[in-house]
Structure 1
Amino acid sequence: MHLYQNTDIPEPEPFHDDYSNRASAAKEAKMRVDRDMTDRDLKYPVPEGLTSAEEKQWKYQRYIKDYLRCVASIDNNVGRMLDYLDQEGLAENTIVVYTSDQGFFLGDHGWYDKRFMYEESLRMPFVMRYPREIEAGSINDDMILNLDFAQTFLDCTDVDQTDEMQGRSFRPLMNGKTIEDWRASMYYRYWMHLAHHHVYAHYGLRTHDYKLIYYYADGLGTPGSADDPKPPEWELFDLKKDPHEINSVYDNPDYSEIQAQLTSELYQLQSQFGDQPYQS
């Protein structure tokens, strides 16, 4: 509990997001630090007598410090494991992967939790150590997915993959090589409509420069989803100009050509992965 005790953690840039200039899904979500975070989330009651602004700030500091303390403990123990591999002479032939199943909002957009296709939730940490094949400190910006993990590990152990696998080995990327036909976009779908934090069901496409999201906002009878459809809406973000995804340009005529290209590519990826566009 002493780590960060006398330190204020900086708030993320979009901490005071007002959810304007986007689809209504962002405004309707119930994962706001100030409004929706409970004593259970904070593991401590909120002090009395705070203004709304002070309460939001207090909640954020309480939450982020608790999170960072957990991460520090994990980091320390990962370090112990790496030290052991080094000391026992096992490091050269051991693949170590440090990753997660998804990202997480840590005050970004004023939120906690995940689910949305926005960057903080969509992107995953991925650090890999394999001295035999990976140069220490090297960085690769190609787009890999958790779909690729299995094929990559099979490739590294000279085991054949099966035909039903949807990913692809990124072993050449580990070695610093370029794969000319590597993916330039990815498909995402969140189907649990209103099941958690009132997040609308949606799917979308992300490229290196743009993101297209369609909130079809319908449970479609899937287990765990709510039977409470909402009006469908689109969002389009220029990730180079708007990395925090504050202003959707879906209705901006300057992006009409980009929008058409992304929509076509979205439907192609849906077909590739056995999904299909929403039919209202």
Structure 2
Amino acid sequence: MYSYLKTTFLFFILVIFSSCIDKKDNLKPSPSDRPNILFIMSDDHAYQAISAYSDHLIQTPNIDRIGKEGIVFTNASVTNSICAPSRATILTGKHTHINGKVDNLMPFDTTQVTFPQLFQKAGYETAMFGKLHFGNNPKGVDEFMILPGQGNYINPDFITKNGDTTIVGYATDIITDMTLNWLEEKRNPEKPFMLMYLHKAPHRPWWPTPEKFREFYGKELPLPESLFDDYSNRGPAAKRAEMNLLTHMKYSYDTKVWPETIKQMGEVLPEVPDLVQAFNNIVDRMTDEQKALYKPLLDSIGNDFKKRWPSMSDEEKMIWKYQRYMQDYLGCISSVDDNVGRVLDYLDTSKLAENTLVVYTSDQGFYLGEHGWFDKRFIYDESFKTPLLIRWPNKIQAGITNAEMVQNLDFAQTFLEAAQIDVPDDMQGESLMPLLTGKHGDWTRDAVYYHYYEYPAEHQVMRHYGIVTKEFKLAHFYYDVDVWELYDRQNDPQELHNVFEDPKYADVVVQLKGKLEALRSQYGDSDELNQHYIDLHNERMGLKH
């Protein structure tokens, strides 16, 4: 009898122990253990136009709220400052020379695994609404409604799993409506979610709603200090770029002067026919009711332009274009901020906020008249740096800032670690979790790598790669030149003086060149790969080099 009881007891203990081992080996976090992820990204939203960074242009209380309740990164940047490549880097956690999307023309390598796929596989419900900008069937997404290509501000078309559709209204409002509808009506409340809420705004050609148009038209915005930069203290790249407000911004397409008014100015104002047609296409998309709201505003712009034009100097034309540009650009951002507020309010009222990691960022920075420019592409700060604000209640201390060198390359790893999902070994970024949770000693990166490829092409920004630290920026422009530029970020924050040849910086050049080569090796970039992408680009563009 004793032997039987002893055997039974040992068997019972063994079963319990085996069960514990099995549970430990197969332990997965419950939905309540894993945060929801809400990734909010706008298109071409300059950090200078977010009041958490600077309030000299606009107040953005709702976007700021994310930073006030979390963290604001002041040295966040991109690996390649152009729309589709930036998005490919975010989705894959890899530099563009690895995922194939080096520019807006080159195809994305569809064999690459994206982080939404990993979330979906790990039991998250996934959705994407708004602007993806490449591919019509995003991988790893349970539900999506995305704009084709750049999309339209007014009465936009959308690609869905069930076919294309057109929705009457304003893109920023519609994308938010879709997002809220999914959160309220369609998602499975038993599962954590990973939601990508992606705005078209404030991408060119900057069409605000009629209400925001009225609010911002006529406002006089402060001029940037470098508006009339003559590029005299840099290399040929700045002078060659075609994104100067005076020379390259169009009166009709960009500043909203009626094409008929332009024609009345005669041959003095040649406009690009394709862009004139693009302006007309936007107006043609409007309903009669929408046209009635926009027409008085467009008439006012045209009348003001006609009255001023005969006596305007080049300097006055530059300023006029800048003001028109900023009025429309900021009007678009104001709508983004309003709609971000709608989503944040929903998270609060639905009790989702406490377990939701919220990110606000842009696909890159943008020039708001600095150096006389609009657009992006350069390694210079206004293009290279991007806004990044993150909120995660009970994980991130509220109201802090961080100046570490972080990149969009890091987003995928960060989200995966936060969700307790294994990170693939071939991802190239670093998780921001140490910086989010106060473990700064675990963060070791002191420099980031940048590479821009799309040349010769629109805006003619020359190919270049470089390294950026908190103190310095070293860039190598190549293809049809061999030019180096070095900027002292502490003493020359506007990056107006290339000190590469200055003897005082000789040791810095040597040190940074060594670090740059180490980074290129670490990330798998090389001169041979550069030539490969040059050949592909030139073949696609019908160019010889």
TM-score by length of 1: 0.92
Answering whether residue 339 of structure 2 is matched by residue 77 of structure 1, we say yes
Task: State which of 199, 224, 234 in structure 2 corresponds to 1:22.
Answer: 234
Secondary structure at 1:242 match in 2:
coil
In the alignment, which of 317, 321, 324 is matched to residue 59 of structure 1?
Answer: 321
d(CA) in 2 for partners of 1:258, 1:21: 19
1:17 Cα offset (Å): 0.5
Deviations 1:162-187 (A, max 9, x none): 01100111112111221345211011
CA contact (8 A) 1:192 1:201 kept: yes
* Partner of residue 188 from structure 1, selected from 428, 450, 455: 450
For 1:197, the aligned partner's letter is: H
> RCO (CA 8 Å, sep 6+): is it higher in 1 or 2?
2
Instruction: Return the letter of the residue paired with 2:222.
Output: P
Contact 1:193–1:200 (8 Å) recurs in 2:
yes
Measured in 2, the distance between the counterparts of 1:68 and 1:253 equals 43
Instruction: Report 1:1-280 matches (<5 A).
Output: 1-38=213-250, 39-44=252-257, 47=306, 48-49=309-310, 50-216=312-478, 218=479, 230-277=480-527
2:434–2:442 contact (8 Å) kept in structure 1: no
CA distance in structure 2 between the partners assigned to 1:10 and 1:277 by the alignment: 43
SS at match of 1:15: coil
Residues of 2 paired with 1:271 and 1:213: CA distance? Answer: 16
Report the AA paired with residue 158 of structure 1: Q
Report if aligned partners of 1:98, 1:128 keep a CA contact under 8 Å in 2: yes
Structure with greater proportional helix content:
2
Amino acid in structure 2 at the alignment position of 1:83: D
- Provide the C-alpha distance between the structure 2 equivalents of 1:207 and 1:191, rounded to a whole number of angstroms: 21
CA positional deviation for 1:277: 4.2
For the residues of structure 1 that align with 2:486 and 2:466, how far apart are their CA atoms? 10
1:196 Cα offset (Å): 1.9
Kindly report the root-mean-square deviation, in angstroms, between the aligned alpha carbons of the 2 structures. Answer: 1.5
Contact 1:237-1:249 within 8 A present in 2 as well: yes
1:214·1:235 contact (CA, 8 Å) conserved in 2? yes
| Matched residues, number | 268
How far did 1:136 drift? Answer: 2.0
3-state SS of paired residue (1:95): strand
* Aligned counterparts of 1:92 and 1:138: Cα–Cα separation in 2: 18
Q: Distance in 2 between matches of 1:274 and 1:242?
A: 31
Q: Distance in 2 between matches of 1:109 and 1:136?
A: 35
Contact 1:270 1:277 in 2 (8 A): no
Distance in 2 (CA, whole Å) between partners of 1:194 and 1:59 is 26
Aligned partner letter, 1:43: K
Question: For the residues of structure 1 that align with 2:412 and 2:356, how far apart are their CA atoms?
Answer: 16
- Give the secondary structure class of the aligned counterpart of 1:106: coil
> Distance between the aligned counterparts of 1:2 and 1:89, measured in 2?
36
Cα deviation digits, residues 99-126 of structure 1 (max 9, x gap)? 0111001101000000010000000100
Deviation digits for residues 13-63 of structure 1, max 9, x if unmatched? 111100011011101111000111012122325543222111110100000
- Confirm or deny: 8 A CA contact 1:267 1:277 kept in the other structure: no
Letter in 2 for 1:150: A
> Percent of aligned positions with the same letter in both sequences?
46
Equivalent in the alignment of 1:221:
none
Partners of 1:255 and 1:191 in 2: how far apart? 28
Query: Which of 1 and 2 has greater Rg?
Result: 2
Between 178-187 and 43-52, the greater mean CA deviation after superposition: 43-52
Measure, in 1, the Cα distance between the counterparts of 2:458 and 2:451: 15
Write out per-residue CA displacement over residues 231-276 of structure 1, whole angstroms, 9 at most, x where no aligned residue. 2111000011100000000010110000000011011100111102
- Provide the rounded CA distance (Å) in 2 between the counterparts of 1:268 and 1:56: 43
Q: Report the 3-state secondary structure (helix = DSSP H, G, I; strand = E; otherwise coil) of the residue aligned with 1:34.
A: helix
How far, CA to CA, are the matches of 1:98 and 1:180 in structure 2?
24
- The one-letter amino acid paired with 1:12 is P
Deviation for aligned residue 1:4: 2.9
CA displacement, residues 66-116 of structure 1 (integer Å, 9 cap, x when unaligned): 010100100000011101111111101011111011100110100000001
What letter is aligned with 1:72?
S
d(CA) in 1 for partners of 2:325 and 2:339? 22
Matched to 1:232, the amino acid is D
What secondary structure is seen at the aligned counterpart in 2 of 1:179?
Answer: helix
Contact 2:364 2:386 in 1 (8 A): yes
The one-letter amino acid of 1:20's match is S
Q: Which residue number in structure 2 is paired with residue 224 of structure 1? A: none
Shift, 1:9, TM fit: 0.5
Q: Which amino acid aligns with 1:32?
A: N
The letter of the residue matching 2:229 is D
Greater shift, 130-139 or 39-48, is seen at: 39-48
SS in 2 for 1:16: coil
User: In structure 2, what is the equivalent of residue 226 of structure 1?
Assistant: none
Return the letter of the residue paired with 1:44.
V
